[in-house]
């Protein structure tokens, strides 16, 4: 986000509100000095479906007429899913069943050897 401090029509501070799904955040940039001034901001959110609306709206400009916005990007980040408790229980029961079957087979074999 940026502004041009050398022209009174364009001076800061400037603000934008970013909204994605049910998350929102306001970013304000109050530059010091003159000339073209820029600052970077980031906004993390979790999409609630395969299609999540995103908006970036200018909410305030000290000079009245300019909020610079450049290089906006959206980056997808994947997360590892956590197994459901029923999945863990099912795998545990499967392992326990295999263990019991092996012990029974070993017991039958040792009786046959005697």
Which pLDDT value is given to residue 40? 86
DSSP symbol at 92? H
DSSP 3-state of 91: helix
Q: Give per-10-residue mean pLDDT for the chain (114 aa).
A: 69 84 88 80 85 85 74 79 78 87 78 66
Which pLDDT value is given to residue 106? 78
Which pLDDT value is given to residue 9? 64
DSSP states along 11-58: -S-EEEEEEETTEEEEEEE---SSSEEE---------SSSS--EEEEE
Which pLDDT value is given to residue 62? 72
Which pLDDT value is given to residue 14? 83
Which pLDDT value is given to residue 114? 61
User: What is d(CA 29, CA 70) in angstroms, rounded to the nearest whole number?
Assistant: 14
């Amino acid at each position: 986000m940026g502004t041009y401090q050398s022209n009174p029509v364009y001076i800061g501070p400037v603000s934008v509100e970013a909204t994605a799904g049910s998350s929102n955040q306001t970013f304000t940039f109050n530059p010091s000095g003159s000339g073209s001034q820029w600052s970077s901001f980031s906004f993390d959110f979790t999409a609630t479906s395969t299609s999540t609306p995103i908006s970036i709206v200018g909410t305030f400009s000290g000079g009245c007429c300019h909020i610079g916005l450049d290089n906006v990007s959206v980056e997808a980040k994947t997360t590892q899913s956590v197994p459901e408790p029923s999945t863990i229980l099912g795998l545990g029961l499967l392992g326990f069943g295999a263990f019991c079957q092996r012990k029974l087979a070993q017991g039958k074999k040792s009786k046959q050897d005697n």
